[in-house]
């Protein structure tokens, strides 16, 4: 049958029996976006001449880095045995920082395609996503991708997959997102195997928001899945958590370009436009209902994204501060997970403390600020969030080492994660060593097959979020994969290490570390600063301290720099010129106490400090 005959247009406000809502879940780089591209082509919603790789990845950064950050939903027609169907595909991101986006997408679907690279097999995020899909009671269609690769081992991995989710290896579909092989069979299987959505068409409307995107032309575009009732244009709708009401200016489906419709009914996935300007007014996880005939109960929401890593962002040029504030405000319209507040630093001036989901999120935000808003930025070493209990039993939330309370401290709690590492069994020893060095507690080990093992650990977030993955990869020659999720807190022996120049604190270099690592940090910072700070006209001690206890010390010897020395006997105007020049130079200096430090020294020290984290992509 020709593809055209199978892709007849589907009317809007459709009978739920012909709808199939699904997402594709996979480990990063196993080929979700490429497969989604082939489906768009096979169903005829994108014409070959309009096709570009990773059609659904709209942001430049997504395309350049080949990763998916925001999820997107698209509706595709597909005919099976002469009957038209509407398939709603929700593309999901694969990186661990964006797991919360996966969980929202899953809640909008009845089924999931579990996509596994036929040359790599099951990886840590394959498992994490599969478990999440099972928790949401989704029907799973296992699929092996990249069967065109010479290194593909479909037999071996079909068996691994069948063992994991039950069923026969022959039931595992084999496709190639590159050549398109098997894609039509997969579309048929989606129609046959996935359940149609069920809901009460006559009940008051309830639709779940699973994504909210800011569009500079149309304002906030909200993606919803209708569970009960229906929504129509020009009606007034209400957000159930905030009770805010809006007029529905436009409602429609993405196919994949927006197509306004006369409404959305039970089981349908589409978008709403209400004229709100800020994604936070259209909160992901909220339920949309009809203002005149409101539903009595909200749908179960999902966890709000929670920032895990904080870092200070400062403009290199202090006069860019208002521009940075405006840029952050704009980015936040589009990124509900981004939070920030102003802060000042002795060393760096005015800036913002910004919360991120992880290091990748940090890098992306920073890159967007620099690229889209033309800002030059410096970011301070990232840290996690600590809870500190002081002597009077007050608990202080610390997102910046400078907020660490002075005086006696009863306990410090740090965030924990439960991590899964998947690797060939020959690497078990070296992985255990690494996890122990990072204060990990082993939770058990499962063999997926004879030579592949799944290891469970509970680890402090601060030990895993920065450079753990790099170390894991280099110890296992790139074969290990990692996934983790937040898992409570633990009390730990944590201290704040301060860095002092001539007795004055330099806030940008303070860090909260485990007691055992405090000395190493102190030594490293004092040494580095001695190399970076030029000699002054007096001796400058550089110290690292925990409270009032000095743990490391370096000295910068004094020098007397007489700029007039070489003009002995010269004329007065030349002397003046030299003095002027010296004054200019001083403007670029930051003064800490009496010590003048070139801004470049701060930047150099901070960038090498966070280099370990920056490498992790």
Ligand X SMILES: Nc1nc2c(ncn2[C@@H]2O[C@H](COP(=O)(O)OP(=O)(O)OP(=O)(O)O)[C@@H](O)[C@H]2O)c(=O)[nH]1
CB of 29 to ligand X, least distance (A): 4
Q: How far is the CB of 149 from ligand X (least distance, A)?
A: 5
CB nearer to ligand X: pick between 33 and 103: 33
Q: Is 147 annotated as a binding residue?
A: yes
Residues lying near ligand X in the complex (CB under 6 A): 26, 28-34, 66-68, 93-94, 145-146, 148-149, 176-178
Give the shortest CB-335-to-ligand X separation in angstroms.
Answer: 18
292 is in an annotated binding site: no
> Is 481 annotated for ligand binding?
no
Assigned token pair, 506 = 């330099």
The CA-to-CA distance between both ends of the chain, in Å, stands at 44
Cβ of residue 31: shortest distance to ligand X, in angstroms?
Answer: 3
For residue 167, give every residue at least 6 positions away whose Cβ sits within 8 Å of its Cβ, in sequence order, or none.
142
Q: How far is the CB of 488 from ligand X (least distance, A)?
A: 28
Q: Minimum distance from CB of 481 to ligand X (Å)?
A: 13
CB contact set of 91 (below 8 Å; sequence gap of 6+): 23, 24, 32, 33, 36, 56, 68, 71, 72, 73, 74, 105
Whether residue 163 is annotated as binding a ligand: the answer is no
- State how far the alpha carbon of 35 is from the alpha carbons of 113, 196, 231, 419, 569, in Å: 11, 22, 31, 28, 79
Q: Which residue, among 491, 364, 479, has the nearest Cα to 425 in the 3D structure?
A: 479
Q: Which is nearer to ligand X, 35 or 248 (CB)?
A: 35
Q: Residue with structure tokens 């994490």?
A: 128
Angstrom distances, CA of residue 471 to CA of 123, 464, 612? 18, 10, 10
Residue 161 vs 597, nearer CB to ligand X: 161
Nearer to ligand X, 64 or 446 (CB): 64
State which residue, 116 or 239, has the beta carbon closest to ligand X.
116
Q: Compute the C-alpha angle 421/422/423, nearest 5°.
A: 120
Q: What is the closest distance, in whole angstroms, from the C-beta atom of residue 364 to ligand X in the complex?
A: 12
State which residue has the least CB distance to ligand X: 94
What is the distance between the alpha carbons of residues 413 and 403, in angstroms, rounded to a whole number? 15
Which CB atom, from 102 or from 500, has the smaller least distance to ligand X?
Answer: 102
Is 390 assigned a ligand-binding role in the annotation? no
CA distances from 95 to 42, 70, 125, 361, 572 (A): 27, 11, 8, 10, 65
* Count of beta carbons in the 10 Å neighbourhood of residue 347: 23
Residue closer to ligand X, measured from CB, 72 or 383: 72
Smallest gap, in angstroms, from Cβ of residue 294 to ligand X?
A: 38
Q: Is 33 part of any known ligand binding site?
A: yes
Residue whose token pair is 């929670």? 306
72 vs 289 by CB, closer to ligand X = 72
146 annotated as belonging to a binding site for a ligand: yes
- Contact call for residues 33 and 67 (beta carbons, < 8 A): no
Residue 148, marked binder:
yes
* 59 CB neighbour count, 10 Å cutoff: 16
Annotated binding site for GTP: 29-34, 145-148
């Amino acid at each position: 049958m020709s593809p055209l005959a199978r892709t007849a247009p589907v009317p809007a406000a459709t009978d739920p029996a012909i709808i199939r809502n699904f997402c594709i879940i996979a480990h990063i780089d196993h080929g979700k976006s490429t497969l989604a591209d082939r489906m768009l082509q096979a169903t005829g919603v994108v014409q070959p001449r309009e096709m570009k790789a990773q059609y659904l990845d709209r942001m430049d950064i997504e395309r350049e880095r080949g990763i998916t950050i925001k999820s997107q939903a698209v509706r595709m027609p597909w005919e099976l045995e002469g009957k038209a169907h509407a398939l709603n595909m929700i593309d999901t991101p694969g990186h661990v920082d964006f797991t919360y986006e996966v969980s929202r997408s899953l809640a909008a679907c009845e089924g999931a395609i579990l996509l596994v690279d036929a040359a790599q097999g099951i990886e840590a995020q394959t498992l994490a996503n599969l478990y999440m899909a099972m928790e949401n009671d989704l029907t799973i269609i296992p699929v092996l991708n990249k069967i065109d690769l010479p290194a593909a081992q479909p037999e071996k991995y079909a068996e691994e997959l069948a063992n994991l989710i039950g069923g026969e290896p022959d039931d595992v579909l084999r496709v190639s997102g590159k050549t398109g092989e098997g894609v039509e069979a997969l579309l048929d299987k989606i129609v046959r195997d996935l359940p149609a959505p069920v809901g009460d068409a006559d009940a008051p409307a309830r639709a779940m928001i699973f994504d909210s995107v800011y569009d500079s032309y149309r304002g906030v575009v909200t993606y919803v899945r209708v569970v009960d009732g229906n929504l129509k244009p020009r009606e007034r709708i209400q957000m159930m958590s905030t009770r805010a009401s809006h007029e529905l200016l436009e409602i429609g489906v993405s196919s994949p370009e927006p197509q306004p419709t006369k409404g959305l009914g039970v089981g349908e996935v589409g978008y709403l436009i209400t004229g709100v300007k800020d994604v936070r007014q259209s909160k992901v996880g909220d339920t949309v209902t009809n203002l005149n005939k409101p539903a009595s109960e909200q749908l179960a929401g999902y966890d709000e994204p929670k920032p895990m890593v904080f870092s200070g962002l400062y403009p290199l040029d202090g006069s860019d501060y208002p521009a940075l504030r405006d840029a952050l405000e704009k980015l936040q319209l589009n990124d509900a997970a981004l939070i920030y507040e102003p802060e000042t630093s002795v060393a760096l001036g005015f800036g913002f403390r910004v919360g991120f989901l992880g290091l990748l999120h940090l890098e992306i935000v920073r890159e967007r600020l620099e690229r889209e808003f033309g800002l030059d930025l410096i970011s301070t070493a990232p840290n996690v969030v600590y809870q500190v209990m002081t002597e009077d039993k007050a608990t202080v939330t610390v997102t910046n080492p400078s907020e660490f309370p002075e005086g006696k401290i009863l306990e410090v709690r740090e965030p924990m994660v439960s991590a899964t590492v998947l690797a060939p069994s020959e690497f078990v020893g070296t992985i255990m060593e690494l996890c122990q060095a990072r204060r990990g507690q082993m939770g058990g080990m499962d063999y997926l097959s004879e030579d592949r093992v799944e290891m469970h650990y509970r680890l402090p977030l601060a030990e895993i979020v920065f450079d753990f993955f790099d170390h894991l990869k280099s110890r296992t020659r790139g074969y290990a994969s990692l996934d983790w999720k937040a898992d409570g807190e633990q009390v730990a022996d944590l201290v704040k290490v301060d860095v002092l120049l001539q007795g004055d604190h330099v806030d940008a270099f303070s860090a909260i570390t485990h007691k055992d690592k405090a000395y190493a940090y102190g030594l490293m910072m004092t040494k580095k600063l001695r190399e970076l700070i030029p000699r002054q006209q007096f001796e400058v001690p550089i110290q690292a301290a925990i409270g009032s206890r000095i743990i490391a010390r370096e000295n910068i010897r004094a020098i007397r720099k007489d700029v007039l020395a070489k003009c002995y006997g010269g004329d007065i105007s030349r002397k003046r010129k030299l003095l002027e020049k010296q004054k200019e130079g001083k403007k670029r200096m930051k003064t800490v106490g009496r010590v003048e430090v070139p801004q470049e020294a701060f930047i150099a020290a901070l960038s090498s400090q966070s280099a370990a984290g920056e490498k992790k992509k």
